[in-house]
Structure 1
Amino acid sequence: MAFHFRFGPEDLLRCRFSLSPRWETQEAVRTLMRPHRQAYHLPWLRQIRAAADGLDLRPLWLLMPRRGHNPDFLSPPPLGPSVTFDEELAQVRAAAEADPQALHEDLRRALVCTPGAAEGDLGRRMLADPARAVRGLADLYEQAWAALVAPHWPRLRALLEADILFHSRRLAAGGLRALFDGLHPDLVWSGDTLSIRRPAHHDRRLDGQGLLLMPSAFVWPEVVGGYDPPWQPTLVYPARGIGALWTAPAGPAPQALARLLGRGRAEVLCALHEPASTGDLAVRLGLAPATVSAHLKALYGAGLLLSARHGHRVLYERTPLAIALTTAADSSPH
C-alpha cells in the first residue's frame, strides 16, 4: 500500500518549492497533541505553554485525525513561493463563501476518521453550518499563529528557506531522483512515480500541475502528501536542521578569527551556519540591520559569502574559504 504521485512529461518541469506560515501554524497545533513529534521542540513547548493553555484548540484538533482526511479547505496550498500568513488566512476565509455542500463534505470526511467526532456536539454544529464553522476555525488559526508561531517566525522562516536553497541545488545537480532520495526515507522514486509508504492506498495523476514541495519544521518525523483535485498536488517533508532549531546562539567568535576580520564581521560569519538574510542575522545576533548589512557587504566583497534571492529576500551563506576559516579558527588555541 502506498500514496502515489504519477508524473507526466510536463510535471517534471513544474516541480517547485514554497513555504507556508499557515501550514506551520497548523502543524504546531498538531504537535501539541502528538507527543511523538515533540522531541526536537521541547524548548519551544516550554516557551509557548502558557499561551497554548489560553487557547481552546479542540475544534482544530477534532479535524486532525491520526489517519485519514484533513480538510483541504482549511489548509490550501500556498499560491506563491513566499506568501504571508494574512494572505493564506484570506484563502481560508474565502472558503467560507464557497459551495456549502463541498464544505460539508470536506468537514464530514475528516470527522468520520475519528470515531464519534461527527456525532458529538461540536462535530454536529460544524456540519449543521459549515460556513460558520470555517469562519470560526479561521479565527482560531489566527489566534494560534499570534500565540504559538509568529514570535518565532523569523527563526522558523530562516530554517525553511535554508532547506529550500539546499534542495534546489540538489535538484539542479542531480535531478528529481537525487532530490527525492534525500527528502525522507518513506519516499520512493521509480519510473514516473513518486510513492510514499503508507498503510492506505491513494493514486494521483499530476496532469500537468507539477508537484509543490514544502519543508516544515513541525511535520517531523512524518512526510505528508495530499490534496484532492482541484487542489495543487503537494508534498510536505521535514526541514533539514530541526535538531538545532531551538538551540541557544553560539558563543563569541573565536579570538583568532576576530583578530583577522574584526569582532563584528567574525560574529556574522560564525552565525551563518545555515543560509540567512540580513534580518535573520540581526535578530540572531541582537544587532541593528544596518550594522549587519555593512558586515555582510564587506564579507561578500572579500569572497567569503555567496548570496541567493528567495522571493523578496536575499540569503547569504559561507563560501568554502569561509568554512575553512571558521573551522580552523574553532580548532586553534585562543
Structure 2
Amino acid sequence: MAVRYRFGAADLLRCRFAISPRWETVEAVRTLKLPERHGYHLPWLDGIRGAAAGLDLRPLWLLMPHRGHNPDFLCPPPLGPDVTFEEELARVRAVDPIAAQAEIRLSLSCTPGALESGIGRALLADPERAVRDLADLTERAWHALVAPHWPRLRAILEADVLFHSRRFAASGLAGLFEGLHPDLSWSDGTLTIERRTQHDRTLDGQGLLLMPSAFVWPKVIGIYDPPWQPTVVYPARGIGALWSRAAEETPAALARLLGRARADVLCALREPASTTALAHRLGLAPSSVSAHLQALRGAGLLEPRRQRHQVFYERTPLGIALATGVPPAES
C-alpha cells in the first residue's frame, strides 16, 4: 500500500519548494493533540501553554482523525513560495461551503461518534458558518501559538529549502528525494510514499510542490486529491535544535577566542540563516548581528549565499571546525 506520484517530462521541470505559515499553524494545533510529537517541541509547549489554554481547539481537533481524511480546504497548498498567513487564510475563507461540507463529513466519519457529536452536527448543519468559524479559530491559533515564533520557524524552513535546492541542483530528483524522508522512494519516474492506503496521482504537468514543516515530524504527508496541487510535506532539517538558545551551545573556549557575541553567532549557524533570523534568535539588534557576520566572514568562518531576495550565511569548513571542535576533512 502506498501513495504514488507519477511524473511526466513536464513535471520534472516543475518541482518547487514553498513555505506555508498556515500549514505550520494547523500542524502546531495537531502537535498539541499528539504526545508523540512533543519531544522536539517541549520548550515551545511550555512557552505557549497559557495561550493555548485560552483557545477551544476542539472543532479543529475533531477534523484531525488518527487515521483517515483531513480536510484539504483547511490547508490548501500555497500558490507561491513566499505567501503570508493572511493571504492563505483568505483562500480558506473563499472556499465553496458545499465542497467544505463534503470534506468535513468525510473527515468526521473517520472518528467514531464524531458525526453525532454536538460539534460535528453544528459543523455540518451550516457549512458557510463552519468555514468562517474554522478560519477564525485558525487565525486565533496563529496569533497565540505560531506568530510570536514565526521568525525562528521561518528561518529553519528557509534553511531547509536552501539546503535541498542545492542538493536538487547537484544530484537531481533521485538525490533530492533520497534525503527528504525514509518513507519516500523514487524509481522509474514515480515518487512513492509508504502508507496504509492506496492512491495514485498522475501529475499531468502540474509538477510537485515540496514543503518543509517544523511540526509535521516524524511523518511525511502527501496531498494528492484533485483539485489541489500535488504536494509532499516533510520534516525540516535541524528541528532538534529549533528551540535551543545559542548561548547554551557556545563553548567557553570559543567565546574567549572570538568574544561571546561573535561566538554565539557562529554557533547559532547550524543551518544557513539570514541576518534578521539570527537577530531574532539571539535577541540582538540586526545591525549588531550584521557587524558580527561581516567580521566572521572576513576571518573565513562564514560565506554568504543568496536565495531569492535574502542573503543566508553558512559556516565554512573552518567555521564548522571552530564551532563543533571537529577538524575539517583534508582535501
Q: Same fold (TM over 0.5)?
A: yes
The Cα of 1:47 is off from its aligned counterpart by: 1.4
RMSD: 2.0
Query: 1:224 matched to which residue of 2?
Result: 221
> Quick one: distance in 1 between partners of 2:72 and 2:105?
12
Task: Show the counterpart of 2:60.
Answer: 60
Identity rate, percent = 72
Instruction: Report if the CA contact (8 A) 1:81-1:311 is conserved.
Output: no
Report the 3-state secondary structure (helix = DSSP H, G, I; strand = E; otherwise coil) of the residue aligned with 1:314. Answer: strand
Residues 1:185 and 2:178 aligned together: no
Q: CA deviation at 1:107?
A: 1.6
Describe the shift of the 1:9–1:269 C-alpha distance in structure 2 as closer, same or farther (beyond 3 A): same
Indicate yes or no: 2:264 matched with 1:267.
Answer: yes
Contact 1:82/1:311 (8 A) holds in 2: no
Please say if residues 245 and 282 of structure 2, whose CA atoms lie closer than 8 Å, have aligned partners that are also in contact.
no
Partner of 1:165: 162
Deviations 1:18-53 (A, max 9, x none): 111111110010111111111211221111112111
How far is 1:301 from its partner? 4.0
Separation in 2, partners of 1:143, 1:81: 24
Q: Could you say what secondary structure the match of 2:219 adopts? A: coil
Say yes or no: does 1:147 pair with 2:144. Answer: yes
Query: Given the superposition, is the C-alpha separation of residues 41 and 256 from structure 1 closer, same or farther in structure 2, using an over 3 Å criterion?
Result: closer
Name the aligned partner's letter for residue 32 of structure 2. Answer: L
For normalisation by structure 2, the TM-score amounts to: 0.92
Alignment partners' CA distance in 2, 1:284 and 1:81: 23
C-alpha distance in structure 1 between counterparts of 2:166 and 2:326, whole Å: 28
Q: Partners in 2 of 1:246 and 1:255 — Cα distance?
A: 21
The match for 1:10 is 10
State the partner residue of 2:84: 84
Q: Partner residue of 2:104?
A: 107
Residues 192 and 137 (structure 1), Cα distance of their counterparts in 2 relative to 1, 3 Å cut? same
Q: Which residue of 1 aligns with 2:301?
A: 304
Return closer, same or farther for 1:142/1:148 CA change in 2, 3 Å cut-off: same
Match of 1:315 in 2: 312
* CA distance in structure 1 between the partners assigned to 2:261 and 2:34 by the alignment: 41
**2-side partners of 1:34 and 1:329: how far apart?**
37
Aligned-partner SS, 2:304: strand
1:220 touches 1:237 (CA, 8 Å); kept in 2? yes
Q: Deviations over 1:139-197 (max 9, x none)?
A: 10011111111111122111111111111111111111111111111112111111111
Task: Please state how far the C-alpha of 1:286 moved relative to its aligned partner.
Answer: 2.1
Match of 2:201 among 201, 204, 209: 204
The residue type paired with residue 321 of structure 1 is L
Q: Is the 8 A contact 2:272 2:314 kept in 1?
A: yes
Q: Conserved in 1, the CA contact under 8 Å of 2:206 and 2:230?
A: yes
In structure 2, stretches of 5+ residues that fail to align are none
SS of 2:192's equivalent? Answer: strand
| Aligned-partner residue type, residue 250 of structure 1 | A
How does 1:39-78 map onto structure 2 within 5 Å? 39-78=39-78
Contact 2:209/2:232, CA 8 A, preserved across alignment: yes
1:22 aligns with 2:22: yes
Amino acid at match of 1:236: V
Partner of 2:128: 131
Decide whether aligned partners of structure 1 residues 237 and 288 sit closer, same or farther in structure 2, where only a CA change above 3 A counts: same
Q: How far apart are 1:263 and its partner, in Å?
A: 4.8
Which TM-score applies when normalising by structure 1? Answer: 0.91
How far, CA to CA, are the matches of 1:200 and 1:252 in structure 2? 42
1:203 aligned partner, one-letter code: D
| Cα distance, 1:202 vs structure 2 | 0.8
Aligned length: 327
Deviation digits for residues 89-130 of structure 1, max 9, x if unmatched?
Answer: 1111121xx3x3222212212111112222222222212221
After TM superposition, the structure 1 stretch with the greater mean CA deviation from structure 2, 253-262 or 23-32, is 253-262
Q: Which amino acid aligns with 2:219?
A: E
Change (3 A) 1:311 1:84: farther
Please state how far the C-alpha of 1:232 moved relative to its aligned partner. Answer: 0.7
What secondary structure sits across from 1:250 in the alignment?
helix
One-letter amino acid of the counterpart of residue 80, structure 1: G
Gaps of 5+ in 1: none
Query: Which SS does the other structure have where 2:116 is aligned?
Result: coil
Task: Report SS of the residue matched to 1:183.
Answer: coil
1:307 alignment partner AA: P
* 1:216-295 aligned within 5 A: 216-251=213-248, 257=254, 261=258, 263-295=260-292
Q: Which amino acid aligns with 1:157?
A: R
